[in-house]
Amino acid sequence: MICSNCYNEHNFEIREEHEVICVRGDNIEIVSKVTYCKDCGQKVWNPEHDSNNLKVAYSLYRKKHNLLTPEEIIAIRERYGISQTTFAKVLGLGEKTIARYENGSIQDTAQNNLILLSQNIDNFKTLFEHQIARLDEGEIQKINDTLNRYTPKVISKSCYTKPTQFKNCLFGGFNYEQSEYEYNFIPAI
């Protein structure tokens, strides 16, 4: 860093200041770190601090507007074991869109809701089926393998049912609400 006023290269101090950053037309107040030249007292541009200040403002904006964080978007995508590009294709978005969101860009509410809904396996499967023409064979196979891991498996063809009350059961890592019958699988004879 160099002070553009006195050309000082070494004598700086960091101060915390209240700052308002406009994010998508919304004024977000943060406590920012600002670099000052100790020799002349002028503000000095510090790319690291400016970047971190912007990240803090974006984080507060996401929280205020109930938007997914980059880490949450990554977790949803990784649940299916697919790339950013493949995930974007399944969602019907541009191929670089998910990469931008995972790297900190702020998504619109509509895209946020689409990503949020995709964490449900049934919604993801529906989106996949509607966007299959955008995917190559490798992407299709990888998604089918993932979906098959989460599909309930019948252990035996021979089973009986008995009436039961409403309850939830955990099956393949997901909750499915059972309504009228409980299925008990018994070994085939």
**pLDDT below 70 — which residues of the chain?**
152-189
Q: Please tell me the pTM assigned to this model.
A: 0.73
pLDDT value of residue 67: 98
What is the torsional sign of CA 100, 103, 106, 109?
Answer: positive
Within-domain flag for 108: yes
Domain boundary among 26, 42, 64: 64
Q: Contact at 8 Å (CB) between 90 and 82?
A: yes
Residue 119, domain member (yes or no): yes
Question: CA of 186: how far to CAs of 5, 92, 150, 163, in Å?
Answer: 82, 43, 21, 16
7 within some domain? no
Report pLDDT for 9.
84
User: How is residue 132 annotated by DSSP?
Assistant: G
Q: Are residues 139 and 163 in the same domain?
A: no
Question: Would you give the DSSP letter of residue 104?
Answer: T
Strands 43-44 and 26-37: antiparallel
Same domain for 94 and 80, yes or no, is yes
pLDDT of residue 183: 43
Are 141 and 162 within one domain?
A: no
Say if residue 44 is in the same domain as residue 100.
no
- Domain containing 93: what range? 70-149
* Number of domains composing the chain: 3
Phi first, then psi: give them for residue 25, nearest 5 degrees: 80, 0
130 inside domain: yes
User: Would you say residue 31 lies in a domain?
Assistant: yes
Tell me whether residue 179 is in a domain: yes
Give the CA distances from residue 44 to residues 6, 14, 99, 108, 149, in Å, rounded to whole numbers and listed in that order: 11, 10, 31, 33, 54
The reported pLDDT for the residue numbered 175 is 43
Question: pLDDT digits over 58-71, tens only?
Answer: 999 999 999 999 99
* pLDDT reported for residue 71: 97
Q: Do 181 and 163 touch, CB atoms closer than 8 A?
A: yes
What's the pLDDT at 150? 78
